[in-house]
Structure 1
Amino acid sequence: MKVVLYGATGKSGSRILTELTSRGHQVVAVARNTASLPAGVEAVQDDLSDVARIAATVKGADAVVSAYAPPQDDTDQVIGVTERQVAALSYPGSPRLIVVGGAASLEVAPGVTLLASGHLPQEWVAIASSHAKALDLLKASSIDWTYFSPAAFFVPGERTGKFRLGTDTLIADEKHDSRISLEDYAIALVDELETPKHRRARFTIGY
């Protein structure tokens, strides 16, 4: 499978790149700065600012993964990036888009999201709000999208292959700890690419 991976040098993107290449997929790794990408990977420099450039990069791909992370002081950039990705993928036969999303739009009680619950730390509210708006853009689009929300704590860790999947409810353990490693998240994302189960839908992961 030929996969275009945006944000390939980031925390989640670098793990997804490793998982994709370890399974034999052909990856076009896209980043603002490609210097740290591993040798042998097709690298493309792009900042996701131009629809035509995005469209040219994804042409001929089987799928697109967006692990784009906006700057902390301007989190709404993820909204503009999502708009441009949707525009670039709005032609017939365009590849599928899987987005590395946020957790705060997941429900923690019936009809109550983590963002709306009041329990989200203030420093996370801006990025959570931006990601929720990006998800709304995908839902309103006509493209073949999947939005993959991590657990509340999305951190480096072990590649265990043991996790639970869900749809719109935050996954937590019996101690109310909602957590997933970047490595296990990458496994589940590539599983979804290889065997699609959540087209035009959101799903989530946790231990």
Structure 2
Amino acid sequence: MANKAAPDSTRRSERSRRAIFEAALALVGEVGYEKLTIEGIASRAGVGKQTIYRWWPSKAAVLLDAFTADADEDYAAGLPDTGDLAADLKFVLRATADEFNDPAFQAPYRALAVAGANDEEVSRTFVARLLEPGIRVYAERLRAAQEAGEVAEGVDVRIAAEMVLSPFSQRWLMRTGELTYDFVDTLVDQALRGLRPRG
């Protein structure tokens, strides 16, 4: 009688986790955050809702993990450094504008912004996993530019990174205007005008 290998519970758990992530991201785009439910996610993912509650305490926690699942990989390479700070920032922010204008990205991000406004733990985790690493890679690129003489010596590169990113985020989150390439390019040019060495 052939020996049957025991089921790999780790692989099964990872499969279920991925199915739950895909279901949460798809459903929030289809029904919105208010109508998103654990039951709906479980049904779409083909798992029992008790499986979800075993891993996450709320729909916000599920969505947060789903949305940030690959965040480490996204930031691992940092920003490009061609020696031209303006060109590098414009290149990355244009790509970011494309991403933020994608409905598949917008739905979960906006949902998490709403959830974070009402849940301190969700907000803290979202900042730690997504916003802080993003600011950090911009600050590192600005520090390299500072060492190369493209940014003034006394500039706080962390604050400089926020100067570039905050107007972008504000425009998108509050819908005060479109995220266009022209906007991105102007934002970078004006920010760098204040950051470059004098003379």
TM-score calculated relative to the size of structure 1: 0.30
Higher strand share goes to which structure? 1
